[in-house]
Every structure is written in C-alpha cells, then in structure tokens.
Copies of this chain bind each other. A is one copy, B any other.
Amino acid sequence: MKKYKVLFQPQNLETEVPEDSTLMEAMDGAGIDFDFPCGGQGKCGKCRVKVLLGAGVPTSGELEILDEKELGSGIRLACSTRVRDNVVVELIDYKQLQHNILIASKERAFQIEPHLNKIFVEVEKPSLAAQRPDWQRVKDSLAEQGVHHPAPEVPVALLRRLPDTLRGAEHRVTAVIHGNRVVGVEGLDTTGTMLGMAFDIGTTTIVGYLLDLYSGKELAVVSTLNPQTKFGADVISRITFAGREEDGLDKLHRAVIEAVNRLIGEAAEKAGINRNLIYGLTVAANTCMHHLFIGINPRNIAVSPYVPAVGEPLVINAGELQIYINPAGKIFMLPNIAGFVGADTTAVLLATEIDRSEDIKLVIDIGTNGEIALGSGEKMVACSAAAGPAFEGAQISCGMRGAVGAIDHVCFGDKIEYSVIGGGSPLGICGSALLDAVAGLLELGMLDRRGRFIPRDKLTNSAAQMFKDNIIEHEGQRAFLLAGADKTGNGRPVVITQGDIRELQLAKGAMAAGIRVLMEIRGARFDDIKEVLLAGAFGNYLNPHSACVIGLIPLELEEKIKMIGNAAGTGSRLALLSSGEYRRASNIANIVEFVELGSYPKFNSIFAESTYFRQIP
C-alpha cells in the first residue's frame, strides 16, 4: 500500500501513514493528543486544522460544517480529511489534552533581532613575541571587529575555560556578545547556530518552545505540569507554603528550576541538538511564578497592598539560576505589571499588540485569578479578578480539572449531550462544561436571576419540561443531574448542585465586575470595544456563547470574541526572537495602568450585581 508523510506544525512532528488514512489517524501515529469531541464522526466540527500542503478535496461533511473562507484558507476537519499525498498540517487550536496544556498559537509579524550576537575571530597565537594574556588577545581581535568589551567584569566561567578553548580550536573561536559585552567564547566557528527557548510558566502548566534564534523556526515544543502543584494548587496556597514550611520557598524554587531544566533537556533531545547551543531563555509567568522562578519570596503579593518585589525586565545569567544551557546564556524575564497582573499578561498584550492598536480591545485570561486588560495604543488599563477556582473545577461538587474523564462540553438538544475528554464514561465535569450546563439551564428558563432552580411546576418553557426530571435532590440540596450513576465511570452521578451554581456566580461575577470597572475607568462602551480576545487554556476551551449567556463576558460582546490561543507563550516567543519586542514588553508593562479593584469605590456593589444572571428573553 502506498504511504505518505504527514508533518504537523508547529510541533514539527512527522509520521508516515497508509494512503486514505485520516489526519486523525496520522495524529495518533505522531503521538499527538488532540480533541475529537464527537469521536471523529465529522459532526462537531471541533477538530479544525489548517492543511498547508496536500489538502485535497473537502468531503461533503466538511462542506456542510466549514464556511467558504475557512475552506479557502485550508481549514479542514482532521477526522474527515484523508491523506492522498504528502501533507503538512498546522494545528491551529492544538491542546495537549493529557493535561490540557495549550501550546500553539498564531504569531504575528515581527522582526527577528537576537538578544545575543556571535562573532567569529581568529585570535593571534601566543609566541615569545606575543606574550599578551589569552583574554587580551581575544579582546584585541574583537576590537578589530568593532567590539570593545568595556567592563573589568568578565564572567569567571569564561576565563576558566578560555585557555583550553583557544588551544583546542587553534585560536579560531566565536565570541558570544550581549550588548557590548563578551559573555562567552567558544571554540571554532559556531556563528551558524544560536537557539533559544521561550517559556510560559503557568501556575498549572509549563510550556517551552525551542526556537532557532536566526530563522525563528520552531524546533520542538515541550510541556509539563508545574511540579509546584504538589505544594499547592494555586498561587495563594503556594505563597502560604513558601511562608509556612521550612525551606518552602527553596522547594518551590527548585521544583520549577528542575522542571525547566528537564524541559530543556527534553526539547534538546526532541530536536536532536545539544542543550549547549541554547543561549537565551525568555520567561513569561504570573508574578508569583516569576518570583518563585527567581527564588524571591512572593509573600507580599498576597497581602495588601499586593506589592511585587520586582517588576521590570530582568536579565539573569543562566548559571545564577542553575539553568543548564550554554554557560554564556541569559534568562530574559518579561516584566510584571502588578502583583496579580504578571509578566504573562504583559506577554499576552505583546502578542496582541493592543499597545499599537487604534481600536479598543478587551483581553481576557480566565483563571483562578483572571487577568483583564482593556485599551488601545492610547491608553490601557488592567486588573486582576479573583474568580476563585470554580473555572478549574475545584470546589464544584463533581468538578475536576480538564483531564481525561471530564465532561468538557454540554449541550441541551433533544436530550442532554456531552463530550468526555479522552472519550469513555464521564468521571466529573470541568469548568467549560459547568459553563455550558448553567448557560443551558438559563436558556431553558430553569434558573432564575439569582441562580436558584425554578420549581418544577413553574417551568414554562416546553424544552425545560423535557429535563424537569433531571432536577433532583442531591445530598440535601437541589441539583441538576447531568449523567446518572449508571452512565459514569465511577458509579456516581454527575450533578450540578445549587452550591455549584453559587460558586460559578461568584467566579463569573468577579470577572464581569472587573470588565465593567475597566470599562468605566477607560470610558469605553460596548460599541467602542472592537474585539474581545480570549487568551489562555480555559479561554480557548470554553464555549464563548455559554460564557456570554452566564454573563462572564457581556452578551453584547459575544460576536466580537476571538480565541487567541496561548498568547502568553506567543509573547514569550516574540520576546525571545526579538530584542525589540522584549523592549516593547517593557514599555507595555510601564504604560498599562493597573487598577486595584478593591480600591475602586463602587466595586462591591458592582461585584454583587454581577453575580446575578441576566434575564434570558
């Protein structure tokens, strides 16, 4: 049988499959975990990919689901597209379902402009007529090329290696330059290669992108759960751990450093390169993760007035943090905006370029602490909304993280339909399904504005009648039965209780209040906002319509919602590939006006109001 190659971008994963295999099968072969909510039946349309090469003719199923514009740009359904040629596929909305890590995202135009520079020089060999020290002869050669190392401070590690480096390479060496300083000298001509890694260090997950700093090409993507999770699921519990436990800070610090080192090794192995070729790392992280990465106690972030130790961009020698890359390597920390609006938000704003936008845009990263920014090039405001863990499935009776076994989407049609991550029987629900379910209940008129279940006998909507038997008593409170005990993987029913709805109201209320306060401060009305950009894993996973129905995002903005993938990762990549973009990030962090919601006079009443649902017409 004939075989074809399928190359998946941006992961650069290649596989070979027999003719007529689906892209879904090819993904399986390439080891890619991808989301097929309808099980690959071509119905849900959620497995959109972009076929860059070898797309072939769309199937009738695809013609039904995809619009003309999508088809024209190569969008296909992975479950339906059959391989009849060598194919290059871009995973436009790739989620690593194993632990729901959002990796890929679209990159915008930018200028490659490496932070570091390499210069090859032939250094004069020592002789009785040239007894100048090794380092002096290197500097003399560099001076001829216009590089004048100014400082009496030379990296000790460089000096320690220099004599052997020179003599091992017949005095033909490459100097690694940062600014106008020599930060490394290595044997032979290595100017052809310079790699870097962009990191997005989230509270839950860490993603690293190995990039060629000259071409911008992605060589590998790696990710892992943040191992700090075992010391606390969220930012606050980690801050508590750092303060309470002996060596707590050190444990958290070392956990993330080790994880990053492990990911660097993994990426190097994937790409088949030596980690020594990696010269730079950028790190986008929330302020707490930022501090823990450097080893700073984040204690003061958690208590009023929520002040970080440091905000500005920091360039740190890799060795100082025991990050194992090239010894000349530097860590470029993206700048924080405030205690709860960190460098990850800076990275998102950098990726979305709202600092140069004429239009006003709303950028939302939903999480335990949701970050919200609103503005244009003229003025940007940002805040952090303490949504709590409901969106992550925590403190929800049947809640769970978006992992295998979680109901991730719910739809009320003729019956209750739901999809389960990884297929199979459900074990619980994750945040996106909670949104869908509550939105559905609202649309069916089964909940009132305060979030209370409307008594069975008062249900007016005919569709609601169909599901009235699902309103049950569960452990002493009213609840909605999503899946009976006989349908689940653990023999327990999956329900949404009155309490769960209350939790969701608090969470969405916090987000909505944040949006409203920013709009008031920025003086922006719904009409002024041209785009709503959803960043981050949850924002890219949820059903935007559900988010609007429950009022997490104002319904007025529904049509303007765009999912922008892991924009923090994109920002980190941009800052790695371009020192100009890194400087721009610094500028963004400087000009964004941080709004402390707690200090906003009307905040409490706005928040209380925002916990209500709106009347669905």
Contact = CB atoms under 8 A, between A and B. Distances in A.
A135 B305 contact: no
A189 interface: no
Nearest to A130: B305
Contacts of A147: none
Contact of A133 (B167, B312, B316): B312
A136 interface: yes
Interface stretch (A70-78, A148-156, A467-475): A148-156
A162 interface: yes
Interface in A164-215: 164, 167
A271 to B, nearest CB: 28
Given A156-B316, A321-B156, A296 B163 contact: yes
B156 A309 contact: no
A312 B132 contact: no
Interface stretch (A275-283, A403-411, A433-441, A593-601): A593-601
A309 B131 contact: no
A160 B296 contact: yes
A141 to B, nearest CB: 15
A307 B132 contact: yes
A159 interface: yes
Given A133-B312, A164-B297, A297-B164, A305 B127 contact: yes
A308 B126 CA distance: 10
Interface string A289-303: 000001111011000
A338 interface: yes
Given A164-B297, A296-B163, A300-B163, A134 B596 contact: no
Contacts of A311: 132-133, 135-136
A153 to B, nearest CB: 5
Nearest to A311: B133
Nearest to A594: B131
Interface in A109-168: 126-128, 130-136, 151-154, 156, 159-160, 162-164, 167
A60 interface: no
Contacts of A131: 305-307, 338-339, 594, 596
A315 interface: yes
A27 B331 CA distance: 57
B126 A313 contact: no
Q: Name the interface size band of chain A.
A: 35 or more
A163 B309 contact: yes
A12 interface: no
Nearest to A315: B152
A350 B128 CA distance: 26
B153 A315 contact: yes
Nearest to A310: B135
Contacts of A162: 296, 309-310
Nearest to A319: B320
A314 interface: yes
Nearest to A599: B128
Given A160-B294, A294-B159, A133 B321 contact: no
A160 B126 contact: no
Interface in A537-586: none
B314 A153 contact: yes
Given A160-B294, A294-B160, A296-B159, A152 B312 contact: yes
Contact of A307 (B126, B313, B321): B126
A188 B131 CA distance: 49
The CB with the most chain B CB atoms within 10 A, among A126, A127, A304, is that of A126
Contact of A309 (B128, B159, B312, B338): B159
A159 B128 contact: no
A11 interface: no
A611 interface: no
B128 A336 contact: no
Nearest to A249: B160
A596 B311 CA distance: 54
5 contacts: A135-B310, A153-B315, A154-B314, A159-B294, A159-B296
Interface of A: 126-128, 130-136, 151-154, 156, 159-160, 162-164, 167, 294-297, 299-300, 304-316, 320-321, 336, 338-339, 594, 596, 598-599
Given A128-B305, A133-B309, A136-B311, 20 more contacts: A126-B300, A128-B598, A131-B305, A131-B339, A133-B307, A133-B308, A133-B310, A133-B312, A133-B336, A134-B307, A134-B310, A135-B311, A136-B310, A152-B313, A153-B315, A154-B314, A160-B297, A162-B296, A163-B299, A167-B300
